[in-house]
Amino acid sequence: MTSTQHRTTVWPWIVMAVAGLHTFVASMTVSPDVVQGQLSRIMYVHVPAAWLAYLAFGVTMFASAMYLWKKDFRWDRRALASAEIGVLFTALAIGLGMIWAKPTWGVWWTWDARLTLTSIMFFVYLGYLALRRTTDNLDVRAARSAIFGVLAVVQVPLVHFSVIWWRTLHQPPTLLNPEGPAMDTAMVITLLIAVASFTVIYVAMMFKRIELARLEDEVLVADQTSSGPVAGQAVTAPGLTKGS
């Protein structure tokens, strides 16, 4: 925990930039959809963002379960990193869906089952991040958030199967359709490239976010073990002398 060796890893930044550029080039060069026109290109960022939300929250659940089993803080940090990145990609999936919905459905938002459940999932994981800020005790924080991380994953299948279980405006699964992808082969390949590139971005982000979580824990431990003033520089502990 109090390791003083801090190596700077640069490769995740390079990987993120290359994967981002890769997605952009692939999605801008594929032919547009016959029905949706150029708007179909939004799918190449919307679908990967939604997929990464699933993946990230699945990893949070796995890492949380591993923490409860092993009591190793490295799993707690992995769970945190994945949850935070998952919140980012859930927000992106919702935002990109809204940008697509306005010109195609005519509205930014509708209380459709998929949209509503995705926004609930977003707020549940925001709650996970808020829960971690309720205490500075590393053991208590890790245990509470691990239980939350295991339970909250129930959101993922609810969101994914919402378009099958309920009558929704949102279209059924694109790639994970039980009857196979209902798309042109070139579009499927482009979508798979975008999904793979976003997954690479997620892995690279995980490396840096876990590094940050380790450093933040070291700062917390250093603050708790330092023997400074009681409440900052302006306030010092009162002298407890006999008779005072």
Partner 1 sequence: MEYANEWNWVLLAYGVTYFALVVYASSIALRISRARKRLGGPS
Q: Which residues bind partner 1 (CB under 8 A)?
A: 4, 6, 8, 13, 16, 20, 24, 35-39, 41-42, 45-46, 49, 85, 88, 91-92, 95-96, 99-100, 102-104, 201, 205, 208-209, 211-212, 215-216, 218-219, 222
Rounded to 5°, the CA angle 93-97-98 comes to 120
Own/partner long-range contacts of 239-242 (Cβ < 8 Å, ≥24 apart): none
Rounded least distance, CB 22 to partner 1, Å: 13
Q: Which is nearer to partner 1, 93 or 163 (CB)?
A: 93
Question: Least distance from C-beta 84 to partner 1, angstroms?
Answer: 9
Amino acid at 200: V
Q: How far is the CB of 193 from partner 1 (least distance, A)?
A: 15
Query: Nearer Cβ to partner 1, position 81 or 150?
Result: 81
Smaller CB distance to partner 1: residue 91 or 129? 91
CB of 23 to partner 1, least distance (A): 9
CB of 225 to partner 1, least distance (A): 13
Q: Using the minimum distance from each CB to partner 1, give the nearer residue, 97 or 150.
A: 97
Q: How far is the CB of 120 from partner 1 (least distance, A)?
A: 21
Between 37 and 229, whose beta carbon lies closer to partner 1?
A: 37
What would you measure as the largest C-alpha separation in the chain, in angstroms? 89
Between 18 and 68, CB nearer to partner 1? 18
Nearer residue to partner 1 within complex by CB, 141 or 150: 141
The separation between CA 94 and the C-alpha centre of its own chain, rounded to angstroms, equals: 13
CB of 100 to partner 1, least distance (A): 7
Radius of gyration from C-alpha coordinates of the chain: 22
